[in-house]
Amino acid sequence: MTTRVISNIGELTTNDPTLGEGAMGRLRDAAIVIDDDVVLWVGASAHAPAADESIDANGSAVIPGFVDSHTHLVFAGERSDEFEARMNGTAYDGGGIVRTVKATRAASSDELRRGTEKRLVELRAGGVTTVEIKSGYALDVDGEARLIDIATEYSDEVTFLGAHVVAPEYASDRGAYVDLVRGPMLDACSHRSKWADVFCDRGAFDVDEARAILSAAKAAGLGLRVHGNQLGETGGVALAVEMDAASVDHCTYLSDDDIERLAGSATVATLLPGADFSTRAGYSSARRLLDGGALVALATDCNPGTSYVTSMAFVLAIAVRDMRMDFDDALWSATRGGAIALRRDDVGHLAVGAKADVVILDAPRAVHLAYRPAASLVRQVLVTSGGALNGWFARGHGRVTDV
Ligand code: NIG
Ligand code: FE
């Protein structure tokens, strides 16, 4: 076990109010000591204990690794033509999902791995240390199980999304598809998934269909997540709260009742600014959620249709500029908020005992992530040794050489 001290930190964000100033638990001229697994010590740089190795942060900012709690990383193909059409005024209606389903069904598992790995390398280069990955681009029993198996190679936060849209071959019998998802498909996927998700929205699944699928998933022991209120006030938020889902994601359209429901619940509102950006939707009302007392997370939603985004810094920049989140609220939502959306207490903060997922920036303050959009400001990412994602990186796959 190697211990490391990172000293001369200009601005350390711990997200633990007991360790430093304000809700972000901020310290200046700070140091942090970690081992291969956890944070051992946090305090003033001048008092830092010795360790096996030292890293001089040279006055830079240090933050907890980003927790990207919503991605669809396992897919084949791309849909840039839809992006161009949307920029010219075409609305997003979820119709393109079946194009990715066709490409994904046709792809070999190794092709799917290669694409997933490229996106993981991009996410990691931007400071993501925990990532959730959904299935949802196969929509048949064997195909969804294959996507879940691939996702499991890279993440401990794997989500079964057989209920992304109705599979094309079931277009004339939606009920049969709902039964397939809540029966044989769930059976084939539940043992390797932690979560189940349903796209409960216009053009996908209505509230009753979504409730039936989520109830079966809950009975199978899975935690619940919902894609809700992306395309309208379509009941996804209310359903997520009713079912005690860990998170309801998108929340682009919200009634005052939705905000009240969220505020009185353990369901996190996960906002996906990349999706609003890339679909030219209005932005989610982050301010109303925060002012109303709801818990907010921010995630990339990386997928080929609505948000081919792998930069959490970009997500933060939009959240601050266009959703009017204070930078600190946005940073908290992309770290601690993401962790809570995954019902995790060990990541998203840097208290003693938390996982040693630490990002050293090439900037004196974390706000530079939004202030200098599109610059690469992540200098170093230090991660705990455990877990599928870090295991994969540790096996030497941290660089992509065939681009
Ligand atoms: O989170 N909205 C539903 N699912 C994805 C988009 C999927 C796609 O268009 O391929 C999302 O935005
Ligand atoms: Fe999504």
| Residue 37 DSSP class | S
* Distance (Å, whole) CA 236 – CA 204: 11
Distant-in-sequence, close-in-space partners of 35: CB < 8 Å, separation ≥ 6: 1, 2, 3, 4, 356
Give the pLDDT confidence score for residue 398 in this predicted structure: 57
| Count of C-beta atoms within a 10 Å radius of residue 351 | 18
Kindly give the distance from the C-alpha atom of residue 33 to the centroid of ligand 2, in angstroms, as a whole number: 36
Q: Report the atom number in ligand 1 closest to the C-alpha of 100.
A: 10
Kindly give the distance from the C-alpha atom of residue 155 to the centroid of ligand 1, in angstroms, as a whole number: 20
pTM score of the predicted model: 0.98
Give the pLDDT confidence score for residue 401 in this predicted structure: 45
Domains of the chain: 4-65+348-397 (2.30.40.10), 66-341 (3.20.20.140)
Q: Is 376 left (phi over 0), alpha (psi -120 to 50) or beta?
A: beta
Summarize the chain as % helix, strand, coil (round to 5): 35, 20, 40
Q: Ligand 1 in contact with 274 (CB < 6 A)?
A: no
pLDDT digits (tens), the chain, 403 positions: 899 999 999 999 999 999 999 999 999 999 999 999 999 999 999 999 999 999 999 999 999 999 999 999 999 999 999 999 999 999 999 999 999 999 999 999 999 999 999 999 999 999 999 999 999 999 999 999 999 999 999 999 999 999 999 999 999 999 999 999 999 999 999 999 999 999 999 999 999 999 999 999 999 999 999 999 999 999 999 999 999 999 999 999 999 999 999 999 999 999 999 999 999 999 999 999 999 999 999 999 999 999 999 999 999 999 999 999 999 999 999 999 999 999 999 999 999 999 999 999 999 999 999 999 999 999 999 999 899 999 999 998 755 444 3
The alpha carbon of residue 294 and the mean position of all alpha carbons in its chain are separated, in whole angstroms, by: 18
Q: Ligand 1 in contact with 198 (CB < 6 A)?
A: no
Give the pLDDT confidence score for residue 400 in this predicted structure: 46
Kindly give the distance from the C-alpha atom of residue 227 to the centroid of ligand 2, in angstroms, as a whole number: 7
Q: Ligand 1 in contact with 119 (CB < 6 A)?
A: no
* Distance (Å, whole) CA 234 – CA 254: 9
Give the pLDDT confidence score for residue 397 in this predicted structure: 72
Q: Report the atom number in ligand 1 closest to the C-alpha of 250.
A: 1
Q: Ligand 1 in contact with 271 (CB < 6 A)?
A: no
Single-letter code of the amino acid located at 287? R
Kindly give the distance from the C-alpha atom of residue 199 to the centroid of ligand 2, in angstroms, as a whole number: 8
Give the pLDDT confidence score for residue 402 in this predicted structure: 43
Strand intervals (E) in 99-207: 128-134, 157-163, 195-200
Ligand nearest, relative to CA of residue 205: 1
Q: Ligand 1 in contact with 229 (CB < 6 A)?
A: no
Distant-in-sequence, close-in-space partners of 263: CB < 8 Å, separation ≥ 6: 292, 293, 294
Q: Report the atom number in ligand 1 closest to the C-alpha of 79.
A: 10
DSSP string, 83-106: HHHHHTTPPP-STTHHHHHHHHHH
- Select from 105, 199, 225 the residue to mutate for testing ligand 1; criterion: most ligand atoms less than 8 Å from CB: 199
Give the pLDDT confidence score for residue 403 in this predicted structure: 35
* Distance (Å, whole) CA 137 – CA 227: 15
Q: Report the atom number in ligand 1 closest to the C-alpha of 70.
A: 1
